[in-house]
Amino acid sequence: MSFIRMDAGTDEDWVRLERATDEWQAGLAQRIKAMLLQLKQQDDEMAIDQLEHSLQTATRALRGGASEEWVVAALCHDIGTGISRDNHAAIAAEIMKPYVSGEVYEVVRSHQEFQRAHYHENHGKSLGARRLYQKETWYRSAVRFSDDWDQLSFDPAYETLSLDDFLPMVERVFAPERRYAQAAAGGARGGSRFRRLLIKAKKTISRSKRGESPL
């Protein structure tokens, strides 16, 4: 890069940066796998560990007829607990944000609050937190996520699929092309100038791979 401060970067610099970012992001599925495996260390004195809970949640979503994007969201909704339990939902949602719809993002981001409807009242949390979202277009999806998949998934007797069963889905959902698609649609990546540069970078990289002039 030619710049030493971001406001001095040229379009060429940003295209090069996006190419490097694209190469790094291509390995995201493997990093997600590592984060999921880390959950096995967290049993929280529950009947199953946190990885098994995530696998079970995803299995219920899959068997419930959910789309691949929702299944992967169910699998990954608790990956943030490997960093911080208190705000794990926000961590997971922000990791997924460039790759999923706004609806999926909002449901993952708020799933802790929807889960509180199932907490024991002595847990010290508001049991009615989900009511704050009743007017949101994604409210019913969040209820389904919480009530039909997440809160049920602590059963050691449930026949749960393995992580390997879900990895092809993880690779497809976290593919670099989806990041560009979300940006082009005005989704998670934000500002219009950055979206234009992402799209420009994608076109430049595609031409380069085909041996064409990037100009």
Distance of CA 145 to the CA centre of its chain: 14
Q: What homologous superfamily is domain 29-172 in, according to CATH?
A: Hypothetical protein af1432 (1.10.3210.10)
The two three-digit tokens of residue 68, written as one number: 């691949």
CA distance between the termini of the chain: 19
Question: pLDDT at position 101, please?
Answer: 95
- The residue behind tokens 């009947």 is 47
* C-alpha 82: how far from chain center: 14
pLDDT at 123: 55
What local confidence, expressed as pLDDT, does residue 214 receive?
Answer: 45
Q: How far is CA 42 from the centre of its chain?
A: 20
pLDDT in tens, the chain (215 residues): 678 898 888 888 888 888 888 888 889 999 999 999 999 988 778 899 999 999 999 999 999 999 999 999 999 999 999 888 888 999 999 999 999 999 999 999 999 888 877 775 555 556 678 888 999 999 999 999 999 999 999 999 999 999 999 999 999 999 988 876 666 665 544 444 455 555 555 555 555 555 655 44
- pLDDT value, residue 208: 57
Amino acid, single-letter form, for residue 78? D
Enter the pTM of the model: 0.80
Buried (b) or exposed (e) across 33-47, using 16+ Cβ within 10 A? Answer: bebbeebeeeeeeee
For residue 185, the model assigns a pLDDT of 65
